[in-house]
Amino acid sequence: MEIRKIGVVGAGQMGNGIAHVLALAGYDVLLNDVSEDALSGAVSRISGNLDRQVSREKITQGAKDEALARIQTTLKLADLGQTDLVIEAATERETVKQAIFEDLLPHLKPDTILTSNTSSISITRLASRTDRPEKFMGFHFMNPVPVMQLVELIRGIATDEETYTACKAVVDKLGKTSASAEDFPAFIVNRILMPMINEAVYTLYEGVGSVKSIDESMKLGANHPMGPLELADFIGLDTCLAIMNVLHDGLADTKYRPCPLLTKYVEAGWLGRKTQRGFYDYRGETPVPTR
């Protein structure tokens, strides 16, 4: 099964990063979103990120131009029906993802592979709502996509070997490393990472340390490149909370109970960098702890 043309659903932070690396690796990319502004913004961001790679001599100007030429955009989800592989990278809400796949189904080629970039939702459950559960799997990129080397490949209970092999070949062509994960809540990376972030929020909630002391302790004491609260702001506190809820609901273990303070920040709309406030306030020149 040779994959040449790939459809990407969602032109946000993850979607534009996925389109970027696919086009740079030689794939024809069709990027879809419900907003024309989101699509034009995504192409601008991809161009800017490619320029950064050119300036750092990671790629040539010619490679950048060729990559941009391989990216087309569309507001019509149905246009993705003729691609060989679809990577859904919409918001981390199961109802949204299900609706996207249901809308796509009537337009798909018989052999098109469907995948989701979900960071935590059951692949088996998403696949069961389609007409091709054997050709459905999780294709989870890390953020920021052009920089991070890992891609989690998650088989649903029905995913066949041909589908897994075809998706692994895409990861290999991107020059990234694939990790095979079983379809349990949050897979590998977020199963380990999110409880650590949640515990850092509990440490703040209980007054054990301040935002600054918690982040400095993990950076200098555990050699982490970024503190857990700083990282939570980068990921998005709403995403962190959503994944903790998936873990708590899916595994029924109280150790995954989201910290009430994390819930409170999300209720306030303080979601991190994307809203300019989270555990840090980003509205000035230098981020300032909010607690």
3-state secondary structure of 122: coil
Could you tell me the CATH number of the domain that includes residue 225?
1.10.1040.10
On whether both 226 and 248 belong to a single domain, the answer is yes
Q: Based on the domain organization, do 54 and 161 belong to the same domain? A: yes
Out of 20, 190, 198, 230, the active site residue is 190
Residues 151 and 233 in one domain: no
172-189: b (≥16 Cβ within 10 Å) or e: eebebebeebebbbbbbb
Torsions phi, psi for 22 (to 5 deg) = -65, -45
* pLDDT at site 147: 95
pLDDT tens, N- to C-terminus, the chain (291 residues): 789 999 999 999 999 999 999 999 999 999 999 999 999 999 999 999 999 999 999 999 999 999 999 999 999 999 999 999 999 999 888 999 999 999 999 999 999 999 999 998 999 999 999 999 999 999 999 999 999 999 999 999 999 999 999 999 999 999 999 999 999 999 999 999 999 999 999 999 999 999 999 999 999 999 999 999 999 999 999 999 999 999 999 999 999 999 999 999 999 999 999 999 999 999 999 999 999
Q: Which of 16, 116, 140, 178 is catalytic?
A: 140
Q: Is 140 a catalytic residue?
A: yes
Q: Which of 116, 152, 198, 230 is catalytic?
A: 152
Q: 180 an active-site residue?
A: no
* Burial (CB count within 10 angstroms: exposed 0-12, middle 13-18, buried 19+), residue 69: exposed
Q: Do 98 and 20 belong to one domain?
A: yes
CATH number at residue 82: 3.40.50.720
Q: Do 166 and 196 fall into the same domain?
A: no
Q: What is the gyration radius of the CA atoms in the chain, in angstroms?
A: 19
pLDDT of residue 252: 96
What pLDDT does residue 120 have? 87
Give me the phi and psi of 260, to 5 degrees please: -55, -30
pLDDT at residue 68, rounded to an integer? 97
What pLDDT score does 129 carry?
94
Site of tokens 């020149």: 285
Active site includes 16? no
> 238 CB contacts (<8 Å, ≥6 apart)?
266, 271
Which pTM was predicted? 0.91
Give the end of a domain, one of 181, 205, 228: 181
Same domain, 260 and 198: yes
Q: Indicate if 198 belongs to the active site.
A: no
Of the candidates 241, 233, 225, 221, the one whose C-alpha atom is nearest the C-alpha of residue 272 is: 233
Among residues 181, 198, 218, which one ends one of the domains?
181
Asked if residue 64 lies in contact with residue 51, where contact means CB atoms within 8 angstroms, the answer is yes
Residues 23 and 144 in one domain: yes
Domain boundary among 162, 181, 200: 181
Residue in this structure with the two tokens 């989870």, named with its chain if needed? 140
Residues 94 and 132 in one domain: yes
**Structural domain tally of the chain?**
2
Q: Which domain holds residue 177?
A: 5-181
Contact by Cβ (8 Å): 258, 244: yes
- 113 lies in the same domain as 146: yes
Examine the domain organization and report whether 279 and 203 are in the same domain: yes
Contact at 8 Å (CB) between 71 and 23? yes
DSSP H or E stretch at residue 136: strand 136-141
Question: Does one domain contain both 38 and 169?
Answer: yes
What pLDDT shows up at residue 257?
Answer: 98
Task: Write down the residue that tokens 């932070």 correspond to.
Answer: 13
Answer yes or no: do 87 and 230 share one domain: no
